[in-house]
Amino acid sequence: MVDVILGMQWGDEGKGKIVDYFAKNYDVIARFQGGPNAGHTLYVDGKKIVLHQIPSGIFHESKTNLIGNGVVLDAVTLKRECGNVAAMGVDYKKNLYISERTHLILPTHRAIDKASEISKGNEKIGSTLKGIGPAYMDKTGRNGLRVGNLLDKSFTTEYIKLRLKHQKLLDSFNFQEDISAWEEEFFDAIEFLREFKIVNGEYFINEKIQKGQRVLAEGAQGSMLDVDFGTFPFVTSSNTISAGVCTGLGVAPQKIREVFGVSKAYCTRVGSGPFPTELNDETGELIRKTGNEFGSTTGRPRRCGWIDLVALQFACMINGVTQIIMTKADILDNLSELNVCNGYKINGEEKNFVPFQMNKVAIEPVYKTFHGWMKDISSITDFDGLPKEMKTYIEYLNSYLGVPVKYISNGPGRDQLVLA
């Protein structure tokens, strides 16, 4: 049996805390896609830590954590991340496994990413410049190197061959930067990576399932950044939706049971791309400051806006979401009035669907206004204790989406989660 936790918006929904909270109910926590552009923020014993590639179940000593084949892995980032985890008293080598089919991010991938983004000028996608897109391009182009290749003596030779291919592309961009320091760091991290438990991920996880163990698949980024169904071309390079669990871990569709969709009580986006409910005013700035809306990976300020139910309903549909977890509801505590987007006005007509290419049409959000609750909810532990205005807000979301909000996060702490 596999349950899935994934983001419903443009990422940064607070999935890390949610996975950490639910991990105690599972035997295996597995990452199934994405790369080190994911930043899952956790607060463990009052200490903040950001995980980029390690599954968020790592702080539960008895749990197995797997980096699946759908991930593209940056060995340098992983080494640094493992150091941070070890500093908090966790023996990561005991319960962290890596699928041998997982593709590696190379120094030249980072260089190509940077060169490509610079060449776009004002048409930038908003890449985090981590080399993720080029790594996935090599994967689909059948050129990539995988973690399993580390066990082969010819790994360095194969790297050199691929580097020569990459250099031709870099020359076409007129990229002059010296990446020798990146390569030195990379090969040092590769030796570190060889010490890990490298497994045949698909057999590994299916054997766990056959033994009756419970698996929690952890998504990175958000559904609206899915390479197929997101706001293309302003998307990530992998399938962030629940279907990606099957290809990113090697499990059959019928093994998936619950799909937990994580959504903020409002909406944010990092980088370029369409964002119909964006607030470029004092309210948007207030939400950004109150919610500390700055990228956990890049530090970039996030664009903030009202919750978008058109996009959220779309995400629920394509993911088969069975229940919603609303995060950062406490950030709206001091707003006397809240807006909810329940339609798009396109060419004078009101629509309730996500258009083919959102950045090619002018969208005017249609809002329904609610009274704010104007109360600190951070210490509330049960649904009955929530303000009636907040309950009204949630009830409307339930009605519109057709999927229930089952949990409400009212603070960053591990246990600040109210069951509806």
Active site residues: 12, 40
Angle subtended by helix axes 75-86 and 180-193, to nearest 10? 60
What 3-state class would DSSP assign to 158?
A: helix
Q: Residues with Cβ < 8 Å from 67, sequence gap 6 or more?
A: 30, 31, 53, 54, 55, 73, 96, 97, 98, 99, 102
Contact 29, 64 (CB under 8 A): yes
Check: CB of residue 293 under 8 Å from CB of residue 373: no
Rounded Cα distance, 177 and 115, in Å: 9
CA angle centred on 241, ends 238 and 243, rounded to 5°: 95
Amino acid type, 140: T
Element (H, E) at 83: helix 75-86
3-class secondary-structure state, position 324: strand
Non-local (6+) Cβ contacts of 176 within 8 A are: none
Nearest to 244 by CA among 43, 7, 17, 27: 7
What value, to the nearest 5°, has the Cα angle with vertex 76 and ends 75 and 82? 85
d(CA 12, CA 38): 8
CA atoms within 13 A on the CB side of 14: 31
- Asked if 405 and 326 touch (Cβ cutoff 8 Å), the reply is yes
CA distance 50 to 26: 21
Contact 67, 109 (CB under 8 A): no
